Amino acid sequence: MSTPNAEAESLLSIEIGTIHTRALLFDLVDGQYRFLGASRVPSTFGAPYYDISEGIYQALKQLQDGTARVFLEDSRLVIPGRADGAGIDSLVLIYTAGPGLRIAVLGLLEDVSLESASRLAASTQSVLVEAIGLNDHRKHEEQIDALLKAKPDLILIAGGTEKGSTRSVGKIVDLVSMVLQLTPEDRLPEIMYAGNQAMQNHVTEALSRFGAVQVVPNVRPTIENEVLAPAQEMLARTVTRIRNQHLGGLQAYASITSAAPAPSSHTFGRMIRYFSQINNSQKSVLGVDLGASYTTLATAQQGKLELSVYNLGMGAGLQPALEKSELAEITRWLPMQIPDDEVRDYLWQKTLFPASIPATVETLAIEQAAARQILALALRTHRKRYKNPLQSFEPVLVSGATLAHTSPAQTLLMLLDGLQPVGTTTFVLDPYGLMPALGAAAEVNAMLPVQVVESNAFVNLGTVLSPLSNDRYGTSIMNARIEYESGEESRHEIRQGNLYQLPIQPGQTARIHLEPLRPVEIDPMHNSDTRSFKVIGGICGTVIDARGRSITLPADDSRRRDMLKKWAMALGS
């Protein structure tokens, strides 16, 4: 890994994805860092190349053609950049490619240290293959057999608050030691210890003969306090070491990057944490990256990050999504009649050919319906995992091809249907998928992501007001008065069960005054007397979503489809 250069100007980000490899270029323009261009080619970590280098080479060639800049010389990347403008000054590399990491977690109490260890494991692309705590009723030899059969890539040990239990932690370490003795040397897992620091030396002495033991601060220093951030940093580095075995060429590129390669989910979470630190709202920032195999969901408030990666997505990730959902939970969002067999067949075929794109209006509707269900599943699981109701967000930042490669109105409607936020929410789209790259760049150049975020690289879809009312469909629940900076006004009647796109142009500032006519909760995070909001129009203007929470669809199929079409037309979709 090369040393970060304080004088560096240009930065190249390489992202190795499950389907595509992307190259993103950032550089100074008139003294400000800007996103200049991107390329995308098929990834080559699998057959027939089994090496990421070919995909990176093709991505750089495409970027050269698109930007008229020279990055390659004799098929090699020019780094650092030269005085004639060739090459780049800094390189970062992130990845989502590769199988889910097999992680076994061991802790003491199921709802304390074991819970924190499971959250840590879920913050990267992983499969939880085994969990053992004090309440595990299996015999000692059965626990050993279970861990051996699980074949974990990583064993994560937690347990014991600071100045707390040591004897029970010692028993867990003895169990792991026995498992490692019975594991072939070429299949020994990585070991990470995130428990009572008083046991650090004991753990290291007992397990280091099987390999390096990564020791991180206690993830549960007290029963009430959970601290995952330091362990997440170490986990990202550990994942990269394991990925070096799965992704040919990764280790070679790591020698020329300005920061260690990292999982995209980790750098995505870093950006959501940053947004929460500059956000003045009392609400959490929500970030969603809807990928082909995985969906990353991150919430953060005042720098405290809650990060989860789910094996749900719009490609291979459709298989677990279908297994965890009733088909009706997807088809209920279809605005036209499509037989269930056709929907099921199309989605299963998509798992086999994740790079395919919808060719008809019907198949596009199927994918967007599936996206709604995946968003709902991910947020529901995230709430349960972190025991957080998470209803109000400001802002919501989203990325992913399914969300970016369609009309802004369709994107916003998918997000409203899938996430169903309450109160006042600003939706921001990352159309070029820059967030993980910016999170990686922050480690090299802290100013670059700040200035790129302030540029026009992100799209403000609009501010949405989602009041809550228990009135029947069609009941007038409030009046909305829009006061423009010019002094002009417009008035609108808001009825329960409807969507309204208010006439506020992109970039236009206005103030919305709401006058409830019935019992209405306008925003649970604001004072109940707050009925006036300053908004800036987005691509979709400003929207009032008066459909209630959770959204109830008519039981009759014909009425339901008519309702979906009406909502789409309300947003101009």
* Cβ-contact 179, 199 below 8 angstroms: no
Among candidate residues 2, 4, 3, 46, the one with its CA nearest the CA of residue 21: 46
- 284: β partners: 393
Residues 37 and 125 in one domain: no
Residues 27 and 171 in one domain: no
The last residue of one of the domains, among 97, 131, 164, is 97
Residue 6 lies in a domain: no
pTM: 0.92
The last residue of one of the domains, among 32, 65, 97, is 97
Whole-number Å distance between alpha carbons of 85 and 69: 8
Residues 66 and 107 in one domain: no
Among candidate residues 117, 191, 136, 197, the one with its CA nearest the CA of residue 161: 197
Whole-number Å distance between alpha carbons of 293 and 178: 35
Residue 203 lies in a domain: yes
3-state secondary structure of 6: coil
Residues 6+ apart with CB under 8 A from 378: 288, 295, 297, 308, 310, 312
Residues 79 and 111 in one domain: no
Name the domain count of the chain. 3
Domain that holds residue 239: 101-246
- 32: β partners: 29
**Quick one: tokens of 557?**
């199929």
Residue 326 lies in a domain: no
Q: What is the C-alpha end-to-end distance of the chain, expressed in Å?
A: 48
In tens, the pLDDT along 253-304 reads 999 999 999 999 999 999 999 999 988 778 899 999 999 999 999 999 999 9
At residue 369, the pLDDT reads 97
Residue 337 lies in a domain: no
> Could you give the maximum distance between any two Cα atoms of the chain, in Å?
78
Residue 319 lies in a domain: no
Find where tokens 């626990």 sit.
Answer: 143
Residues 43 and 188 in one domain: no
Distances (CA, A) of 91 to 45, 132, 239, 444: 19, 40, 19, 9
The last residue of one of the domains, among 97, 114, 141, is 97
At residue 109, the pLDDT reads 85
Residue 362 lies in a domain: no
Whole-number Å distance between alpha carbons of 47 and 41: 15
Residues 6+ apart with CB under 8 A from 407: 573
For residue 316, the one-letter residue type is A
Residue 471 lies in a domain: yes
Residues 77 and 105 in one domain: no
Q: CATH number of the domain that 74 lies in?
A: 3.30.420.40
Residue 360 lies in a domain: no
Whole-number Å distance between alpha carbons of 304 and 297: 14
Whole-number Å distance between alpha carbons of 465 and 422: 7
Residues 519 and 548 in one domain: yes
10-residue mean pLDDT profile of the chain (573 residues): values are: 58 94 95 94 93 95 93 90 89 93 91 90 94 90 95 92 80 93 93 91 91 92 90 94 92 93 96 90 91 94 94 94 95 96 96 91 97 96 87 93 94 97 94 96 93 92 93 93 91 95 93 92 73 91 94 94 96 85
For residue 323, the one-letter residue type is E
Whole-number Å distance between alpha carbons of 515 and 565: 28
The dihedral of CA 481, 486, 487, 489: what is its sign? negative
Residues 6+ apart with CB under 8 A from 135: 109, 110
Whole-number Å distance between alpha carbons of 214 and 235: 9
Residues 399 and 480 in one domain: yes
Residues 71 and 116 in one domain: no
Whole-number Å distance between alpha carbons of 441 and 457: 15
Residues 92 and 106 in one domain: no
For residue 287, the one-letter residue type is G
For residue 339, the one-letter residue type is P
**Quick one: tokens of 282?**
């009392």
Q: CATH number of the domain that 169 lies in?
A: 3.40.50.2300
As a residue count, the chain comes to 573
Distances (CA, A) of 408 to 405, 460, 573: 9, 10, 8
* Cβ-contact 129, 151 below 8 angstroms: yes
Residues 127 and 16 in one domain: no
* Cβ-contact 130, 151 below 8 angstroms: no
Residues 485 and 528 in one domain: yes
Please state, as a whole number, how many other Cβ atoms lie within 10 Å of the Cβ of residue 66: 14
3-state secondary structure of 98: coil
Could you write out the DSSP letters of every residue in 175-220?
Answer: HHHHHHHTS-GGGPPEEEE-S-GGGHHHHHHHHGGGS-EEE---S-
In tens, the pLDDT along 403-460 reads 999 999 999 999 999 999 999 999 999 999 999 999 999 999 999 999 999 888 999 9
- 93: β partners: 14
- 493: β partners: 479
At residue 7, the pLDDT reads 52
